[in-house]
Structure 1
């Protein structure tokens, strides 16, 4: 009986505990549901309060200056120029004088001389061969010119890459606009087809085809937007993050660059190209290095003056030391310098030929792009637009099917994409010509 009472009490206590747990759980759920609207409203207000960065419009020259100042590779090349200038200071430094002290104790070994301490002091100065010195300084100065030309090449390459990436971003944005227009057109066609299906004027499968075309247009639009985002990220990467996300390029694919004639460009790139300037400076440095190695065969002089004192006498000493080039005539270093000069000369000749071919290729690409642009703008675009308008009108009057409208729309979209690509290829060819000319914005950004 007692055990039964205990069991009943335990079951009652367990049920009360379960009810209390359920009540507590329901209270917590209701509390959370009551708090969620306030938190969501507060979060929505907080999001709306977040500052939105204003859109910054930047021109291509300003973009190039920004990238040239922010890019780490350009700063590294500038550091190499500073190191080369320090090499000129080292090459022009005079050798330091040498000071020598000596001392000891004199002990007489026979009767007569006086024993005692003796000491001496000497100073010596090496006098360099003037031919060796001038050749060494000239080689260091030529190395400075070579590093400056290398810096100009890095700047021209980066400026050209920034220009190409900027126009690529404009291309992707224009393609995204074209795809948005195609999507709007397909949605309008789909609405008309749906009305025709509902009224019984069109078959059901035409609505299915229209739905498929709308989905395809949406996919192409999303792909174009993603490509535009990638082009934007690549442009920010070239500026080392100095360019914010909220920027727009103040330029157009329709921009035209006034370039000199081809003959003038051929002569200009053979002189102004940074690679040619660098190789010329390196060739001059190698020639002066050869001159330096030949001058090193001639000995340098070393003058020495001093005084030595002992308990009885004081001696004044003057000496002249020089090395006789008897065994080492520096044939090896001279041969190495001559070989380096020949290598640079051959490299310079080949590089000049290569640059001339690159110029010819870029000029032909520019001309082809101009002809394609003229061909599209003067006839093909108008014909494709007219064909689409005729197909749409014929479809509305029931003379043509949906496939004819879709085919005309595809042709127009393809022609517009080809026109945009031709304009971009023109800008790429112009950027390559500017790079070969070694052109980049040289003035600083005014803040």
Structure 2
């Protein structure tokens, strides 16, 4: 009988040692470095390729800003009239175009908005990466706990099988109950295999998020990954205008209005002034040449581009309103999801899981004493396993809600500061 293992004896001592080893989760015995949330975030900030690509946007915008302020290059011209020998008239000139109507300033304004957009896009990418790493880390933690629960379920099934086999040998239980226990053991082993696969997948996803091709850690440590209470709904909605998404939407409006101003400056033609020298072979005389040219805006007054730029500015305003509506809805939904999941986690911690565990213990003891059928033990075990799975799902829902909010606001631990 299982309950006789505490008797002295070498063989029973070895059996007790085996049970102690079974009580230790397999991931806890794995060798290799342990990954913490802080380390994962630091590694992702340094190695994530998408964040590195977003950083280049700052330099790209700076290059565009520099180019926007550059003056037009002068032009050198050479011209020959009457190519007959001794009759040529040669002209050499230098021309310079002068932009009128504030075109250069308008270009600089557009390029400046582009720099702001690049900086905000980088900030938004950082928030997204922060949220992705936290989400992947929490998923790995939950998969780790899921494997631990699957191993605990296996130990429960092994204990039940031992009890059943002992009662069958004693002739007080039907062999059918032994078959049921074997089936239960097979189902739990399948669940254990799925939990191990899920752990491998989540580890690899976490490694990819941090910028590593393979998971070089053996497990993740929950230290520093606590899930504290969220800021209030009122505070989050008040801070919505300061989020990168909303600031980005406002800068996009400013950029389109700057594009409209630039398009309007294009209606004003540019002045080209040329200065040169002309030499005539016939007269043996050199004279100075001065010229001015100015396009006549008769047909092309850039009216099509002005209309398009004006409609893009209107479009940016509507997109800003749409972004605010979407973000407000996302915040409200995520908060509701977090509150519901948090309440479920508290209920499981306080009553559901302890009650389910007590039911398994009571059913097992009653079966050992012949008071209950093995079906009662199976029902109690399945109820406990289902409760544990629901508990993990509630934890996952709570983590997902926090990740959704941190993708919008960034690190929520800074939201109340």
TM band (smaller chain):
0.7 to 0.9
- In the other structure, the counterpart of 2:61 is 84
The CA deviation at 1:389 is 2.2
SS in 2 for 1:298: coil
In the TM superposition, 1:63-142 aligns within 5 A as 63-103=40-80, 119-129=90-100, 131-142=102-113
Is 1:297 aligned to residue 291 of structure 2?
no
Cα gap change, 1:238/1:177 in structure 2, threshold over 3 Å: closer, same or farther?
A: same
In 2, the alpha carbon distance for the partners of 1:366 and 1:126 equals 63
The CA deviation at 1:130 is 5.2
1:67–1:240: 8 Å Cα contact kept in structure 2?
Answer: yes
Is 1:345 aligned to residue 322 of structure 2?
no
Q: Which moved more, 1:247-256 or 1:131-140?
A: 247-256
2:36–2:221: 8 Å Cα contact kept in structure 1?
Answer: yes
Is 1:396 aligned to residue 368 of structure 2?
yes
For normalisation by structure 1, the TM-score amounts to 0.78
SS in 2 for 1:363: helix
Count of aligned residue pairs for this structure pair: 382
Is 1:200 aligned to residue 177 of structure 2?
no
In the TM superposition, 1:217-366 aligns within 5 A as 217-242=188-213, 244-251=215-222, 255-272=226-243, 274-310=244-280, 311-366=283-338
Q: Which moved more, 1:302-311 or 1:86-95?
A: 302-311
- In the other structure, the counterpart of 2:357 is 385
Which protein is bigger by CA-based radius of gyration?
1
SS in 1 for 2:102: helix
Q: Which moved more, 1:263-272 or 1:80-89?
A: 80-89
- In the other structure, the counterpart of 2:400 is 428
In 2, the alpha carbon distance for the partners of 1:295 and 1:174 equals 64
Cα gap change, 1:291/1:146 in structure 2, threshold over 3 Å: closer, same or farther?
A: same
SS in 1 for 2:180: helix
- In the other structure, the counterpart of 1:172 is 143
Stretches of structure 2 that go unaligned for 5 or more consecutive residues are 1-29
1:124–1:302: 8 Å Cα contact kept in structure 2?
Answer: yes
In 1, the alpha carbon distance for the partners of 2:185 and 2:226 equals 34
The CA deviation at 1:118 is 5.2
Q: Which moved more, 1:422-431 or 1:348-357?
A: 422-431
RMSD of aligned Cα (Å): 2.6
The CA deviation at 1:184 is 0.9
SS in 2 for 1:398: coil
1:171–1:420: 8 Å Cα contact kept in structure 2?
Answer: yes
In 1, the alpha carbon distance for the partners of 2:225 and 2:284 equals 98
Is 1:149 aligned to residue 120 of structure 2?
yes
1:136–1:292: 8 Å Cα contact kept in structure 2?
Answer: yes
In 1, the alpha carbon distance for the partners of 2:286 and 2:133 equals 77
In the TM superposition, 1:176-195 aligns within 5 A as 176-195=147-166
Please give the per-residue CA displacement for 1:144-180, whole angstroms capped at 9, x wherever unaligned: 3223333333332233222212111111111111111
1:87–1:140: 8 Å Cα contact kept in structure 2?
Answer: yes
SS in 1 for 2:262: helix
In 2, the alpha carbon distance for the partners of 1:429 and 1:275 equals 18
In 2, the alpha carbon distance for the partners of 1:169 and 1:69 equals 21
2:38–2:224: 8 Å Cα contact kept in structure 1?
Answer: no
1:67–1:242: 8 Å Cα contact kept in structure 2?
Answer: no
SS in 2 for 1:316: strand
Cα gap change, 1:332/1:71 in structure 2, threshold over 3 Å: closer, same or farther?
A: same
1:276–1:352: 8 Å Cα contact kept in structure 2?
Answer: yes
The CA deviation at 1:294 is 0.7
Q: Which moved more, 1:342-351 or 1:260-269?
A: 260-269
In 2, the alpha carbon distance for the partners of 1:354 and 1:171 equals 29
The CA deviation at 1:201 is 2.0
2:204–2:214: 8 Å Cα contact kept in structure 1?
Answer: no
Cα gap change, 1:99/1:348 in structure 2, threshold over 3 Å: closer, same or farther?
A: same
Stretches of structure 1 that go unaligned for 5 or more consecutive residues are 1-52, 109-114, 442-447
In 1, the alpha carbon distance for the partners of 2:291 and 2:393 equals 80
1:146–1:279: 8 Å Cα contact kept in structure 2?
Answer: no
In 1, the alpha carbon distance for the partners of 2:84 and 2:352 equals 113
Q: Which moved more, 1:384-393 or 1:89-98?
A: 384-393
